[in-house]
Amino acid sequence: MSTTRGRLVTTNNVILDQADFFQLDGFTRVTGLTISTLVCQLFFQNILQPWTFVTGAGVTDAQVASGSVYWVEVAGSPGIYNVRFRPNAIGYWRLLITYPLGTQIMGQDYDVVPASVPVAGGLKASFVKPNC
């Protein structure tokens, strides 16, 4: 079973996502998955990146750094997994996490775009002729 979907995200933000892996019945979640039981591949512009796959236990969102993909089972929610990373460039990113023992893969793609610049709204009143 594989899952894939796409998201639009802005630069300089931590990407938060969740991964789902199920037992053979297709309903019961697999609990206790660690980075040693999974394979993580991260692509940028269709080029495999040498980022490390690390445990995210005890790591706050503010501490998430580019160069690593963070993985942790959500506390109090067995079988629900949190995945985080911080893309360091604008463009197309694809994250694949494979659970070889259960023959499952989670695929997610992200279009990272520049953060929009806030524009002052409304009208500006001027009573002075421009060339005076």
Closest CA to 115 of 95, 84, 90, 78: 90
Do residues 9 and 109 lie in contact, with contact meaning Cβ atoms separated by under 8 Å? no
The tens digit of pLDDT for each residue in 51-63 reads: 999 999 999 989 9
pLDDT at residue 123 in the model: 63
Closest CA to 81 of 71, 90, 89, 91: 71
The tens digit of pLDDT for each residue in 3-35 reads: 455 778 888 899 999 999 998 888 999 999 999
At 100 the three-state DSSP class reads helix
At 62 the three-state DSSP class reads helix
Mean pLDDT of all residues in 104-118? 86
Which domains are present in the chain?
2-113 (2.60.40.10)
The tens digit of pLDDT for each residue in 30-46 reads: 999 999 999 999 999 99
| Plot region of 25 (φ>0 → left; ψ -120 to 50 → alpha; else → beta) | alpha
Phi, psi (deg, nearest 5) at residue 45: 50, 40
How far apart, in whole angstroms, are the C-alpha atoms of residue 68 and residue 80?
Answer: 20
How far apart, in whole angstroms, are the C-alpha atoms of residue 70 and residue 57?
Answer: 8
pLDDT at residue 1 in the model: 44
pLDDT at residue 103 in the model: 87
